[in-house]
Chain A
Amino acid sequence: MTDRGLELVGLTCERGGRALVDRVSLNVDAGELLVLVGASGSGKTTTLKMINRLVEPTAGEVRIGGRRNDDEPAHLLRRRIGYVFQQVGLFPHLTVAENVAVTPVLLGWARERIRARVDELLALVQLEPARFRERLPAELSGGEQQRVGIARALAAEPPLVLLDEPFGALDPLTRETLQEAFGALQRELKLTAVFVTHDVVEAVLLADRIAVLRGGRLLQVGTASELRRTPADPDVAALMATPQRQAQALATRLGGSNA
């Protein structure tokens, strides 16, 4: 990946005459983590899936490192893009090691290299390789499964990682642990990543920059503090105020019950 990172230009997806995503243009720099936030139906997941062509756009284009994402077969493109999503989707008939090794195997890596890489990744997501390598997904907790999901996405050293509400289905404590772990990992590996969530707190904690979507349209892109200080739209302002609003409400309730 060059410094040009990821570029979305007028990206549009129409289904049945309705635009799910409407002319979205934005750039993600190399090594940057961009979070797409928005309510359900805002088009954030569709936007993400058009990047690795799980959904084909009806107009506009995606460039990765300056190269259009539709100039090669979709399956080859996807091998170069890590992908993590909410339901994890581990292959239930494969062991943890085999799940992590899926993309390297598809790419034809040598067996020794794959073995070493699997152990390295399991350690990276804080799963002790010797204990977890041979387990089946059904034997793991939800948090452990998603750690394996992240390891699988990173296995082939992709220049770009897409995450679709990866921690949405986890309990709050596990979610917090994984958010921290992933944040550290992303900074350490300088991952270029697009992260979809509807949780503004998560967005603020993880994002270099945040893109806010509503009804398929991009409202504003910027750092969390930029969005907070100079919102381009009342909805952006309302959205960015939610963490604080919630914190105040909580303080009142907790304080009130104590008094």
Chain B
Amino acid sequence: MARLNVEQALSQLPPLLAAHLQLAAAALLVGALVAFPLGVWATRRPRLLAPVLLLASVIQTVPGLALLAVMVPLLVWIGALVAPLGVGVRAIGFLPAFLALTLYSLLPMLRNTVAGIRGVDPAVREAARGVGMTDRQQLLRVELPLALPTLVAGLRTATVWTVGMATLSTPVGAPSLGNLIFAGLQTRDTAAVLVGCAAAATLALVLDGLVRAVEIGLTRRRRGITIVAAAALLLLLAGALLPLARRSEANAAAQRPVTFGAKPFTEQLILAELMAAQVQARTSAPTRILPALGSTVAWDALRAGTLDAYVDYTGTLWATVLHRKDQLERHALLRETANELAHRFGVEVVGPLGFENTYALAMTDARASALGVHRISDLAPHAASMEVGGDYELFGRPEWRAIRGTYGLHFSAERAMDPSLMYQAIAAGEVDLIGAYSTDGRIAALHLRLLEDDRHVIPPYDAVLLARPRLRGERPQVWTALRELVGRIDQGTMQRLNLAVDEQHRPPGEAARAFLRQASDRPQVFQR
């Protein structure tokens, strides 16, 4: 079980909390500025009411994570459209998270505005007209004051939702308390997960409470309460938003940090830290890591130039980026992938790191020995009584279909789960077989046996270091520093690094720096 290292998690908290508040506050502010007027307007035009509410509801039904992820390709597309005008669009980071959260915050505020205004007693409305109010006076003096509690309730709902959903903005590259949660889940750092969740919940409750206090002050005409609560709220928001303004000024002037991406698993975190540490050591340029990016988010961000570099795998690029179905031998695949990426996207394959991380079917040694299974083809007589576990992607991937088709395997159940749970599941005997990652340190630690792909169905998955278009020309020292990592990490090294983080709970950055120190003592230890 994970060791609790609360202190370490707390040390990361302040900047993430500030970023989280910035994101949520900016989204709520803009959301409110859109939703309240839109809601009022819709009540004035009954024909628009249904479509407006429907649209907001549809946005709401999109799962939060998907809404965030969808913003990235959307912004890449918009960026491509406006590029000729000389306008740059950042497809990952603050912008997609901000847009998604803003959209998400609309519904409760919109719906409550409409409900609040329509809920005003028709007799009161007729009286307002009867005493000679104009439409505008009726709205401002009667309808809005009477709808205020409902409006505020909408704002409070939106506040809690937005602060909660902001934790999901980590995969699109916007720092938030989600960084603690995502990284903590990946590296099984329970303390980080708990600290992240507790901080997000506290932030939501504090904001909700302050908004509620303002409401109480207003409706009970208690000026003291109103002023104190409003001041606290404004102070909190100003504290969060001012650095944002300063940062965008500063950003324009200062050198942009070299930005590395990581997909949401331990190995990727370690490799991102490794690249960052290497670049820092060689160039002293500022660096930044965007952790837990969705698979396609990382690729889109690299293409758009928001990421400077990240590590991907040839088999993944071949199938999901190049949409190729043909099979090539390992080295040919590497060459062809590099050519295609350079030619079609301007993305440069700096080089292979020296290991493959492929899907591999794994069983416990004990079980495999008992059944006499060494190769995947040995599974055929047992498959029908076996349950297999895999990550969220595995069962939808072409190689899984290839494995089942070529080897003629029909398992009794295919269970998709979080990768870290998958290893627990096989250790506990809840599944018979898992789709493991060949570099995973837990393979050795849990005495798992990787089954040989004797009919060569699983494509090669060489880890390759990818650089964004024009990085080599624009920042040659960075490129050179990254080039030095090529061919330096073999399968065993990667397994050890993964194990250090997953099982021994060393922070990924620490593991990466320790490796670099050793490697510089013994240059070029690992030959491909």
Contact = CB atoms under 8 A, between A and B. Distances in A.
B132 A75 contact: yes
A91 B142 contact: yes
B126 A54 contact: yes
A28 B121 CA distance: 32
Interface string B109-138: 000000000000101101111111110010
Interface in A51-92: 52, 54, 73, 75-80, 83, 85, 87-92
B99 to A, nearest CB: 36
Contact of A76 (B132, B141, B146): B132
Contacts of A106: 131-133, 137
Interface in A105-151: 106
Contacts of B145: 93
Contact of A91 (B124, B129, B132): B124
Nearest to B127: A89
A102 interface: yes
From B121, B130, B133, residue with most partner A Cβ within 10 Å: B130
A78 B123 contact: no
Contacts of A78: 129-132
A114 to B, nearest CB: 14
Contacts of A42: none
A192 interface: no
Given A93-B145, A93-B146, A106-B137, A87 B130 contact: no
A152 interface: yes
A85 B124 CA distance: 11
A83 B146 contact: no
A103 interface: yes
Given A85-B126, A90-B127, A79 B121 contact: no
A210 B121 CA distance: 32
Nearest to B126: A89
B146 A102 contact: no
Tell me whether chain B's interface is mostly helix, strand or loop, or mixed. Answer: helix
Contacts of A52: 130
Contacts of A73: 134
B149 to A, nearest CB: 10
A21 B365 CA distance: 93
B51 to A, nearest CB: 27
A102 B131 contact: yes
Contacts of B142: 91, 93
A88 B134 CA distance: 19
Contacts of A91: 124, 127-128, 141-142, 146
Contact of A152 (B124, B131, B137, B141): B131
Contacts of A54: 126, 129-130
Given A91-B124, A92-B124, A106-B137, A85 B146 contact: no
Contact of A85 (B127, B133, B134, B141): B127
A69 to B, nearest CB: 13
Contact of B133 (A75, A87, A92, A152): A75
B127 to A, nearest CB: 3
A87 B121 CA distance: 10
B130 to A, nearest CB: 4
A52 B133 CA distance: 13
A90 B126 CA distance: 10
Interface in A150-166: 152
Contacts of A102: 131, 133
Contacts of A85: 123, 126-127, 130
Contacts of B123: 85, 87-89
A66 B127 CA distance: 26
Contacts of A77: 132
A106 B129 CA distance: 12
B130 A83 contact: yes
Contact of A79 (B124, B128, B131, B146): B131
A78 B128 CA distance: 10
Contacts of B121: 87, 89, 92
Given A89-B124, A92-B124, A92-B146, A79 B132 contact: yes
Interface of A: 52, 54, 73, 75-80, 83, 85, 87-93, 102-103, 106, 152
15 contacts: A75-B133, A75-B137, A78-B129, A83-B131, A85-B126, A85-B127, A85-B130, A89-B123, A89-B127, A89-B130, A91-B142, A92-B124, A93-B142, A93-B146, A106-B131
Given A75-B134, A91-B146, A102-B131, 17 more contacts: A54-B126, A75-B132, A78-B131, A79-B132, A83-B130, A85-B123, A85-B126, A87-B121, A88-B127, A89-B121, A90-B127, A91-B127, A92-B124, A92-B146, A93-B146, A106-B133, A106-B137
The 7 closest A-B pairs by CB, nearest first: A89-B127, A79-B132, A87-B123, A83-B130, A78-B132, A89-B123, A75-B134
